[in-house]
Structure 1
Amino acid sequence: MRVKEMADLAGTTTRAVRHYHRLGLLPVPPTAGRGRRDYGVEHLARLLRIRWLADSGLSLMEVAQMLDADEQGTDRESILCDLQSARRNIEERQQVLRVQADRIDELIAQVADGGVLSPLPTVLARFYDEVAVRLHDMEPSAWGGALEVLARERRLMMALASRGMIPASAGRFVEELDATERDACAQQVCAFAHLDQTDQGGAVELAQETWALALRHKESTLTVLNDLPDGALGRAVWNLVGVLSTVSYPLRIHRVFTGELLDLMLADPDFAAAIHHSAGEKRVVL
């Protein structure tokens, strides 16, 4: 039979057959009259066996090794180990696909809810949008530079979200903030944007205002901290936050603010316990 006829019978293509020839998986038949090759039943049987194994999830390299070992009638244990290994690989791929399917479901729900294609949870994206609107409602002289600060904060949170490091409780926390508190958030963003125009005392005062907001929602804030991963992943979260905050807010006055805010949190036994549960006992730097 001709190569196309054999490929059709096996449910594959002539291109695949020639690929199997190049890999040594399928022997090349002798040339018949006028230079054409005549494939026999033995070639079709071999091709069907190759396709059967490949469709089972085995790589072509694994197929070649198993066929050789099987035909030689040796090392059955090796074939069994290879099959078991292939089975484990399939299970790992299935797990990856399940995770990807869950992520697609989340994106479907996010877009259906009016969100955008972003790793940032919709509730947080809307919160930043609302703060931006509040900034625009202020006098231009008041919010100069504040929109850029807000954009940096949003990018920082997006980076964390892309790594799966923002717990769902963070969204529930911002949902608790009433209109007055959201106005206060906008004002704090403005104040942070103008820290370079103030002294150390101004940075400390702003940190205390931020801390006061956290205390008004202490239970929810602690829930967010306690929902952060622990162990190596938890330490990675805090390290990444430290790096991103340093890159986003490089001025010394920014370090005064973040340092004071962290000191206030660590001075509270409940917050200190939550932070160390996630970050470990190593000194945390923001």
Structure 2
Amino acid sequence: MRVTQIADLAGTTPRAVRHYHRLGLLSVPPTVRGGREYGVEHLARLLRIRWLADGGLSLRQVAEILASDPASDEPPVSPAEARRRRVLHDLRAARGTIEAQRRSLDEQAQRVDELIARVEAGQALAPVPVALTRFYDAIEARVRALEEDPEILRTERQILQVLGSLGMVPDSAVPFVEALDEKEIELCAQQVIGFSRLPRLHGEEARQAAHALAERTVELSLRHKDLALAVLDDLPGGVAGRTLWHLTRVLFASGYPDPAQQAFAARLLELLLTSPDLAATFRRSVGEDPGR
């Protein structure tokens, strides 16, 4: 993605993106064919900056919160007590300002409340339900235990963070992941590993592996069909639904450009649309032709 694209997706301007570069909030991407090429990780970071700033925080406070994140290649750990207290102090100060302007800033006050609760609980400041974060932590732990690279999973987390920043992750996703038992979470980890191996394959072998992986994914999802339908039912319809679907396709193509991974996505959608219930819900959200 170019700077204009990433700015549009985040609801900001190229000038603001460059300002975040200068402040060190957003890393500068590599230059490809004479222009900066942004990836999913940059969009996820940019949307998180916007999400925190829209909650009433200054960019200095945003920088402190981002600096308190655990390293991505290490297991998450609780922030140092001193830093935790500084973050809480800043968040509560922001809440005090919001309370003084309650009538016009009710929505921002609620966001800050959520940030405070997460910091007090030692949780990451991210616009994704805690249950989903724990779900991905459990899968990543299993992937690491099998001595596999969890990089693919990190990309999926970033995509989820982008969607969460835009309010596109329904609350009904929580009961779905919480319904998965230990054996099913283990199967999810195996699916992640299989997906990460697709780029190593070529030709017909890659296509067959992608299709088999899609079939296993559908089978696993339909073990809790009612909960899966509840998630789809909560997705927006009309223009908002089409926007969500378009954004998801853009993020998936950017995060997983390999042809075999794209074949997996196409086959997965094709299989899901064979279920009358799922197909009806998909079409309500994204239009008559979700694959277009």
Matched residue type, 1:173 = F
Flag the structure with higher helix content: 1
Unaligned stretches of 5+ residues in structure 1: 1-92
Q: CA deviation at 1:94?
A: 5.9
Deviations 1:94-137 (A, max 9, x none): 66511111222222333334321111211111111111111121
Check if 1:109 corresponds to 2:114.
Answer: no
Q: What are the within-5 Å matches in structure 2 for residues 210-249 of structure 1? A: 210-249=217-256
In structure 1, C-alpha distance between the alignment counterparts of 2:104 and 2:242, rounded to whole Å: 24
Equivalent position of 2:134 in the other structure: 126
Q: What are the within-5 Å matches in structure 2 for residues 165-204 of structure 1? A: 165-198=168-201, 199-204=206-211
Higher relative contact order (Cα pairs below 8 Å, separated by 6+ residues): 2
Q: CA deviation at 1:191?
A: 0.4
Does structure 2 conserve the Cα–Cα contact (< 8 Å) formed by 1:120 and 1:158?
A: yes
Deviations 1:146-176 (A, max 9, x none): x110000000000000000000011111111
Indicate the SS of the match to 1:101.
helix
Q: Normalising to structure 2: TM-score of the pair?
A: 0.62
Aligned-pair RMSD on alpha carbons? Answer: 1.6
Does structure 2 conserve the Cα–Cα contact (< 8 Å) formed by 1:121 and 1:171?
A: yes
In structure 1, C-alpha distance between the alignment counterparts of 2:267 and 2:289, rounded to whole Å: 18
1:253 to 260, 269, 282: 260
In structure 2, C-alpha distance between the alignment counterparts of 1:114 and 1:134, rounded to whole Å: 23
Q: Normalising to structure 1: TM-score of the pair?
A: 0.63
Deviations 1:161-211 (A, max 9, x none): 000000001111111111001111111100000012332111100000000
Q: CA deviation at 1:256?
A: 0.8
Rg larger in structure: 1
Unaligned stretches of 5+ residues in structure 2: 1-100
Equivalent position of 2:63 in the other structure: none
Q: What are the within-5 Å matches in structure 2 for residues 46-125 of structure 1? A: 97-125=105-133
In structure 2, C-alpha distance between the alignment counterparts of 1:96 and 1:186, rounded to whole Å: 45
Count, aligned residues: 188
